[in-house]
């Protein structure tokens, strides 16, 4: 079974984290939400979430993909967390997927994973990082090798469905998407 880690930092973007977790689980993917610290994590809109685990307890596990929700200051916490940075680098070195939405591509950039890649993020985020070797895109979702980025809350479903397709194939993506009654 494919597995995905979704780290939750204080101030995460609620819609993105919940949409990712929900849709990936609908696809039969094992999702582990992990707080940077023990206990309940409060999102940027005040939604309180009890993660499945504490990040320290799952660091040794192998996941197929790590998906970083955005939001501020959540994305900054992910960027500045040494454990998250080490995990991103380890997953990239192992040829696994790293994914980030909204402001969270700043964490991928900090880990050096956007170097030489095409990426997208919340408007202005990539520009503010002044990445000389990253090609910015206005697309809702960008897949460049094993790096996947997306723009923000409004693209969270497209982001999650793209991750489903990468891990489980187009048929499973279509099955999940048809159940959502998207037009």
CATH of the domain at 99: 3.40.50.880
The whole-model pTM stands at 0.97
The pLDDT value recorded for residue 182 is: 87
pLDDT per residue as tens digits for the range 84-109: 999 999 999 999 999 999 999 999 99
Q: Known catalytic residue: 54?
A: no
**Domain hosting residue 49, numbered range:** 3-179
Q: Are 125 and 105 in contact (CB under 8 A)?
A: yes
Within 8 A by CB and 6+ apart from 160, the residues are 19, 20, 22, 23, 24
Burial class (CB in 10 A: 0-12, 13-18, 19+), 37: middle
Nearest to 55 by CA among 44, 66, 46: 66
| Residue 97 confidence (pLDDT) | 98
- The Cα–Cα gap between 65 and 175 comes to 21
Domains of the chain: total = 1
Checking DSSP bridges between strand 97-101 and strand 141-144, what pairing results, if any? unpaired
Residue of 55, 66, 102, 126 marked active site? 102
Ranges of residues in the chain with a pLDDT under 70 are none
pLDDT of residue 183: 77
Q: How far is C-alpha 30 from the chain's CA centre?
A: 15
What are the tens digits of pLDDT across the range 123-150? 999 999 999 999 999 999 999 999 999 9
């Amino acid at each position: 079974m494919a597995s995905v880690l979704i780290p939750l930092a204080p101030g995460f973007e609620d819609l993105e984290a919940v949409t990712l977790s929900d849709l990936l689980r609908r696809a039969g993917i094992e999702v582990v939400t992990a707080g940077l610290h023990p206990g309940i994590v409060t999102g940027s809109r005040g939604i309180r979430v009890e993660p499945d685990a504490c990040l320290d307890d799952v660091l040794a596990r192998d996941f197929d993909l790590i998906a970083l929700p955005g939001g501020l200051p959540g994305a900054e916490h992910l960027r500045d967390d040494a454990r998250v940075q080490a995990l991103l680098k380890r997953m990239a070195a192992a040829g696994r997927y790293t994914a980030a939405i909204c402001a969270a591509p700043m964490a991928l950039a900090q880990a050096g994973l956007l170097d030489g890649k095409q990426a997208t993020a919340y408007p202005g985020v990539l520009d503010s990082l002044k990445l000389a070797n990253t090609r910015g895109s206005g697309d809702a979702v960008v897949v460049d090798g094993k790096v996947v980025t997306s723009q923000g809350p409004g693209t969270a479903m497209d982001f999650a469905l793209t991750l489903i397709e990468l891990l489980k194939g187009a048929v499973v993506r279509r099955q999940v998407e048809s159940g959502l009654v998207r037009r």
